[in-house]
Structure 1
Amino acid sequence: MRKLGLFALSFTAAAAGYVYLRLGWTVLALAGAALVGALALRLRGPNRASVLLLGLAVGVTWCAAYQIVWLSPANRLVGQTLPLEVRVSALPEETAYGVMAEGELTLTGRTFGVTVYCDALPEGTKPGDILAGTFQVERTGWDTQAGESLYQRSRGTFLTLSAEDAVQVETGTPRWYEAIHLWLRARLEQLYEGQTLAFLRALVTGDHSGFSYETENELAVTGLSHAVAVSGMHVAILVMVLRTLFQGAPRPTALVGIPLSVAFALMTGATPSACRAALMQILLLLAPLLRREYDVTTALGGAALLLLLPNPWTVANVSFQLSFGAVAGLALLGEPIRQRLVKWKLPDFAANCLSATAAATAMTLPLTMFYFRTVSLVSPLSNLLCLSAVTASFLLGMLSAVAGPLGPLAAIPARWVTRYILAVVDLLAGIPWAAAYEQNPALLVWAVGAMVIAVGLLAFGWKRRKLLGGFLAVTFTAAAVAGHLWLTAGEMTLTVLDVGQGQSLLLESGGFTAVLDCGGTDPQEAGETMARTLLSAGLTKVDVLALTHFDADHSGGAMQLLRRVDVGLVLLPALAEPDPQADAIAAVAEKAGAQVLWISEKTGVEFSGGALMVYPPMGADRNDGLAILASVGEYDMLVTGDCDMRSEQALLEQYSLPQVELLVAGHHGAAESTSQALLRWVQPETVVISVGAENHYGHPDQETLARIEAAGAAVFRTDQDGTLFFRR
């Protein structure tokens, strides 16, 4: 490895240590020790160890100086409320709490990335406009090692500004690359619609905001998320077109390709992956002009340094890690794997595609598992079927945007190709074992181990590959069976998913599967979590989906669940007045082929060894939803949704409830639910509280906990215990 590559490697390691380990003043001691070691080794003669130590010393010193010196003007504002002017750098987004806009704040000649939160902004607010107002300034979170704060800092956003009153907007002028982005975006919106528009907009402009949750999830499940993230593939496609136009001549290709690569990276948001791709492509174009040999490790190291110097926190960016990991995998393993596949008589196209997928995946798989808790098992197939189509979609989409009056004509093949990709993604994502999820740790570990073994053997060879195939098949079966038994072992299993501030329950008994409520802090994520829990156990059908009421924290994930697995019967509370959420769920259920039953009277659903007894709402309030009694043999459990004490009392007066072994506390343990009367009547041995950690509602209430304790029941909470499993 060249010296620059070694230096960049240790510099990157130093930045990672500083950002993740929060070493504080310890970094100065480390820098000094590393520098002394580098000098001592250098005196003994040139060697790689001295370069590594020098990179470490420079890296930790640079990070400390950046934190203490460069960020000092921004740090001085933290905790203050003062008038500020912010330049908008991206289109504002609607949130659950108002409007969020990314922007730039200039202080003492230095520009810092900020996130602005306010109640509203005028329609048409765009990059280049100035936001003026009084803001409460907060740091994005130096003390947070992971999560949203670290993510924001890795993008160069160091302050959060919350507007105290209305924000004034002064019309400004976008920068040239922002103007190109806006123009391309507008052109694509004229030519396409729906998820076709979202896909092409992501490819051409780097804007992923148009993807539905369903499409975004399917891309992740099939291992194709990288295809719509601006990366080396997109920049390489543009340069490939230039090489063709200039018949391979290096000088004109470089003269046009270098500014085009820079413009494309800036226009698509200057993400770490886009910048890495542009920088490496520039070095590749310059190499023949400077009569130098292109070395991928040197180029990769140089790109890393150029990205980390302006902001060391970039090392924590998922895009940075995945992009550099994928290129490292291609450099180290790509060619050995390709040669092995060619020897096995695979066509060149298939060998090139599969070797690139395997090599890149080998280096990024641990990151994918850590960040996304998912490993796609159909990724080689999806990449083989779609990567060439993605290239065509990108070129045709770009052509249609710049073709002027001929744009609608060029959009026709772009639309066909994109729809083909989306159809393949939808088909492959529906395969039961399309991916391994964290809900089945055995299968997830198998996926990682199998990939490591397979890639290693492809790269370095092994004569007994048939034995390897048998080994992988047997261990896959064992992992799948382990996941199935974990969820279905025993006469009955109740799974209370940790979905934050919400409720999602899964009951499995003798092949009968029921989902009781499906919502959470992020409703769609709750639906996907439920689907992954089922699929990880090999369960592709839900017999009954029962929703107690239509608040998003109890029902918001139902539509995502209905899209991911087959559902036989959907039980919904009958309503006195129309409800948009109820109508939407019923429509999706009917489209998916499920039977929808609106509950207005006591209704029973029997299954082998047990029954569900569903009680209608006890009033007209939105929280007056269904109560569900599940009985398996001698074991009974009661779910009351968000029913308050008044509804609980009405339920006790109208129906004869049995004593139960398990009670799911009403309304996440709120003070107005789980009354003393209910506890005295059903006498639960166990009470489960599905509640989000540090929620803003104060759930569970101390009075409720006191009542449960007085009743002598054991308490389990998802905010403290995570996902809960109860077996009989």
Structure 2
Amino acid sequence: MIAFFVFLSLITGCIVLKSPMLGLFFLAVFCILCFRKLKNRSHVLWFLLIAAIPPIFLNPSELGGSVATIDEFIIVDYKHYRDETHYIVSSGSGTFELFTEESDMEEVGLRCTGPFDVAEIKRQRNFLKQDEASRYAVNNILGRIYLEELEEERCEGGDKDFQMWLAHFRNTYMQKVLEYTEYDYKYDLLTLTVGNKSYIESEFFEALQRLGIYHLFVISGTHVAFITAVLYFILRKMRLTSGSVKLLLIASLLIFYMMNIYSPSVFRAVFMAIMLILASFFRKKPYLTVISLSALLQMSLNPYIVFHAGFQLSYITTYFILLSRTFIHGNSPLTQLIQITLISEVATFLIILIQFNEISISGIIMNLIFVPFFSLVIFPMVIIFQLLLLLPYIPAVDHLYHFVFSWSKEVIYFLADMIKHRYSIKNLNAPIYIVVAVLSYMMAADICRLNFFKVFLKGAVFITLIFTANITDRDDFTFTMIDVGQGDAFLIEDHQSDITVLIDTGGQFTFGGRESLLAERTVLPYLKERGIDDIDLLVLSHMDIDHVGEVEDILEAKNVRNLLVNSKDPKFVEWSQSHIEGKYNGNILASKDIKTLEAGHILMENLTLDDGLEGADSNDSSIVLKVSLGDYDFLMTGDVTEAVERKLLESGEDLTADVLKLAHHGSATSSSNGFIEEVSPAHVLVSAGADNRYGHPHEEVIDRVSHTNILSTAEAGMVQLNIRDETMCIISRLDPFLNQCTKKELITQLP
């Protein structure tokens, strides 16, 4: 019990670090629980001191940058990503990821001498919860090294240690599986045996995530529990003693872990299983203490593992089930399955909301369907396949495996596309999370008592609360300049009408020949953390890649109802043929046919020149919009040059605006003095990459707008402008000195 309270103390301290109000709530609950169980005030004080440790010593956002170069490294393993495989390398400083341009993988044990530069860990420039430093910290990685190739004269083979031999054995096993059959089920088997997800199509993983059964297709506690149960059944049939069976189970689990030695999820699951088996040797069976000790050991090896979603989900689920076992024990197997599935779901509500900003409306039902199916069909087939590798090839068995896995995928795809299973939920305030925590506990208690009517009522309250909070906002509008590096992406939210407009998507960046999934690190996670699944209007100002490079990812991930483009853009025909024809089913609006647009309370006036310029390039074909958000006007200028600005001045249109987006990222080819004077902005926006190679924004342009409030992503990162009635509040990610609130009447008095 003491170990359990020590663990709770540390977890409570971590919650205080991340969310003080939520942490104080759990601290109060913890103190009450501790005093009721231990009946000793001094113990409570000691545990409070322990809870103070994480806020004092842990801050993952400040990690990184401690190692700039390393003199040598040894390849110790491989890291498998969605589309490619890289190296895990070790040096005297620690563990790193190594990325190269070579397609052929080098042997584990290769030693290379440097020096080698370690890429700088970038700070989070957007209002997002995750950052590189935190990701590295929870995975015990110090950084990344990027090389074009491993030069032969600087590298030589070396002796392999035990872990390297394990990595070599695992990769030999993987090759044997790949060579066994021509059917694609071999990739699924690798995912389910050694956690290699690099061969699995991203669409299939997205389908698994939508159904809420992703945990069944990655190595987790579910797999370990099944392996343990099957081995226990087989060994008992061999009439071995109970003690011998348990020792053989421990040995088998250790072998399984060695095949996945660098997987934190496998370590958690295997270690928990081994500790529970060891606990069974004792008469009192101190399961709670054993699980707490396993968590404390992992935290001692890597304190930042506590921020890992997998760690949180594993232990919250395990604790809830352990604490409920008295109520579950004695029920029928079917009832127990339903209870455990429901308890596992409600136990993770809070973590899913905080870590993933989503809620599932079908996860419980899907798990009730697929957990038995995987347990009774898929997992046994995976185990049997290991024996098949030792036997001669049997065509009939190969076809059977192909049929079962193919049919399973078809069913998963069908169910995933049938309805909308998951909804994005914005970052909620602490009081809402507190209510969610209380409801989760009450629902779990009702499940234990088999009072499903009360579970249904509380579930309805939970759903109503979450969706109401998701569409409620204190502001009328939020205008966000997303930091996408050297590119443009602007998000406009009308909170009164629940309308969303996105202007441009940012671009693509490459390392060598590989594209970096920029949208997955900036625009898409930000949309999710804002609770946005539907985009009512996506405006593509022009067809340069730094403005439209992530269109396909946005269209695939979100429901985009309308797309506004300039069909006269010289790049439009080629772009549309390769990016949207046959892929996009929404409405395509041509700017030449649109003069004004209303989206909820968002008013847009299209100022794009109908006749344009003779021989205009894509930049000068940019859509120019005057966007009115309540009392505030924004002029969005794309990448137009001074030539188009002169045409706009000659058009006689009202160009005055409170906020001007400087054209072409603040380039000297735009933003002439005459244009700036006519617009007369109080604020200017500059979307440019930090330390970009073009020198944007150019100094002469900044001089022209020096009398305004300059908001640049290159300096301030993401910038939010929140509008409520006549007040506009500015919040920047990196420069707190820019944060201010002003009123419309004060702005109009500026020169």
Q: CA deviation at 1:503?
A: 0.7
Q: Which residue of 1 aligns with 2:366?
A: 382
Deviation per CA, 1:534-583, whole angstroms, max 9, x where unpaired? 865xx746355535324255441443334431534452555646998654
Q: Distance in 2 between matches of 1:715 and 1:568?
A: 29
SS in structure 1 opposite 2:655?
coil
Q: In 2 relative to 1, CA 369–594 (structure 1 residues): closer, same or farther, beyond 3 Å?
A: closer
**Letter aligned with residue 664 of structure 1:** K
1:627 aligns with 2:618: no
Q: CA deviation at 1:702?
A: 5.6
Q: Distance in 2 between matches of 1:195 and 1:626?
A: 45
Deviation per CA, 1:260-285, whole angstroms, max 9, x where unpaired? 31222232344333112212322444
Q: Which residue of 2 aligns with 1:28?
A: none
Q: CA deviation at 1:584?
A: 3.9
Q: Which residue of 2 aligns with 1:307?
A: 298
Q: Distance in 1 between matches of 2:697 and 2:274?
A: 57
CA contact (8 A) 1:236 1:281 kept: yes
Q: CA deviation at 1:239?
A: 1.7
The one of 85, 88, 91 aligned to 2:76? 88
Provide the aligned C-alpha RMSD in A. 5.3
Q: Distance in 1 between matches of 2:248 and 2:298?
A: 23
Q: In 2 relative to 1, CA 556–160 (structure 1 residues): closer, same or farther, beyond 3 Å?
A: closer
Count of paired positions: 661
CA contact (8 A) 1:494 1:507 kept: yes
1:368 aligns with 2:368: no
CA contact (8 A) 1:223 1:379 kept: yes
State the identity as a percent.
19
Q: Which residue of 1 aligns with 2:524?
A: 528
Comparing 297-306 with 662-671, greater Cα deviation is found at: 662-671
Q: Distance in 2 between matches of 1:132 and 1:530?
A: 40
SS in structure 2 opposite 1:90?
strand
The one of 578, 594, 605 aligned to 2:586? 594
Listed as ranges, the matches of 1:184-583 within 5 Å are 184-186=173-175, 189=178, 201-210=190-199, 219-220=208-209, 222-247=211-236, 250=242, 253-254=245-246, 256-286=248-278, 290=281, 292=283, 294-333=285-324, 336=327, 338=328, 349=334, 351-391=335-375, 392-397=377-382, 399-400=384-385, 403-404=388-389, 405-406=393-394, 408-409=398-399, 410-428=401-419, 430-431=420-421, 434-438=422-426, 445=433, 448=436, 451-452=439-440, 454-458=442-446, 473=460, 476-477=463-464, 480=467, 483-484=470-471, 486=473, 493=477, 495-496=479-480, 498-501=482-485, 502-506=488-492, 514-519=501-506, 522-526=518-522, 528-529=524-525, 532=528, 536=532, 540=534, 542=536, 545-552=539-546, 554-569=548-563, 571=565, 576=570, 583=577
SS in structure 2 opposite 1:102?
strand
Q: CA deviation at 1:240?
A: 1.9
Deviation per CA, 1:205-260, whole angstroms, max 9, x where unpaired? 22344566665556555544433442211111112222333345545643543233
**Letter aligned with residue 324 of structure 1:** Y
Deviation per CA, 1:433-488, whole angstroms, max 9, x where unpaired? x334126769974983574254254257698966x86676467547645644649x
1:178 aligns with 2:167: yes
Q: Which residue of 2 aligns with 1:680?
A: 677
CA contact (8 A) 1:518 1:555 kept: yes
Q: In 2 relative to 1, CA 19–528 (structure 1 residues): closer, same or farther, beyond 3 Å?
A: closer
Q: CA deviation at 1:103?
A: 1.2
Q: Distance in 2 between matches of 1:264 and 1:384?
A: 27
**Letter aligned with residue 151 of structure 1:** R
1:665 aligns with 2:662: yes
Deviation per CA, 1:632-661, whole angstroms, max 9, x where unpaired? 6998643222334455456656x5543243
Deviation per CA, 1:108-143, whole angstroms, max 9, x where unpaired? xxxx6421556534622354333333224689799x
Q: In 2 relative to 1, CA 54–568 (structure 1 residues): closer, same or farther, beyond 3 Å?
A: closer
Q: CA deviation at 1:604?
A: 1.6
CA contact (8 A) 1:232 1:277 kept: yes
Q: Distance in 1 between matches of 2:311 and 2:218?
A: 12
The one of 133, 140, 153 aligned to 2:114? 133
Deviation per CA, 1:583-616, whole angstroms, max 9, x where unpaired? 44214xx33423556x6x8342655676545558
SS in structure 2 opposite 1:115?
strand
Q: Which residue of 2 aligns with 1:604?
A: 594
Q: In 2 relative to 1, CA 506–5 (structure 1 residues): closer, same or farther, beyond 3 Å?
A: closer
SS in structure 1 opposite 2:536?
strand
CA contact (8 A) 1:213 1:524 kept: no
Q: Distance in 1 between matches of 2:66 and 2:437?
A: 46
**Letter aligned with residue 580 of structure 2:** A
Q: CA deviation at 1:99?
A: 9.4
Q: Which residue of 1 aligns with 2:28?
A: none
Provide structure 2 residue ranges, at least 5 long, that are not aligned to the other structure: 20-37, 58-63, 124-128, 509-517, 726-751
Deviation per CA, 1:288-343, whole angstroms, max 9, x where unpaired? 6x46554321321332344345444444444333322321222124664x589x7x
CA contact (8 A) 1:612 1:628 kept: yes
CA contact (8 A) 2:470 2:531 kept: no
Comparing 268-277 with 391-400, greater Cα deviation is found at: 391-400
Deviation per CA, 1:392-416, whole angstroms, max 9, x where unpaired? 4344355446634246322321232
CA contact (8 A) 1:505 1:515 kept: yes
Q: Distance in 1 between matches of 2:359 and 2:338?
A: 17
CA contact (8 A) 2:662 2:686 kept: yes
Q: Distance in 1 between matches of 2:290 and 2:229?
A: 19
Deviation per CA, 1:49-87, whole angstroms, max 9, x where unpaired? 779969989x989x99xxxxxxxxxx9x96675641322
Comparing 508-517 with 564-573, greater Cα deviation is found at: 508-517
Q: Distance in 1 between matches of 2:442 and 2:480?
A: 36
Q: Distance in 2 between matches of 1:528 and 1:193?
A: 36
**Letter aligned with residue 123 of structure 1:** D
Q: In 2 relative to 1, CA 681–50 (structure 1 residues): closer, same or farther, beyond 3 Å?
A: closer
Comparing 692-701 with 521-530, greater Cα deviation is found at: 692-701
The one of 74, 82, 87 aligned to 1:101? 87
Q: In 2 relative to 1, CA 689–286 (structure 1 residues): closer, same or farther, beyond 3 Å?
A: same
Q: In 2 relative to 1, CA 494–420 (structure 1 residues): closer, same or farther, beyond 3 Å?
A: same
Deviation per CA, 1:147-173, whole angstroms, max 9, x where unpaired? 433432433334665669964444566
Q: In 2 relative to 1, CA 132–284 (structure 1 residues): closer, same or farther, beyond 3 Å?
A: same
Q: Distance in 2 between matches of 1:80 and 1:610?
A: 48
Provide structure 1 residue ranges, at least 5 long, that are not aligned to the other structure: 22-44, 65-74
Q: CA deviation at 1:723?
A: 3.4
SS in structure 1 opposite 2:543?
coil
Comparing 406-415 with 718-727, greater Cα deviation is found at: 718-727
Q: CA deviation at 1:676?
A: 2.6
Q: In 2 relative to 1, CA 305–667 (structure 1 residues): closer, same or farther, beyond 3 Å?
A: same
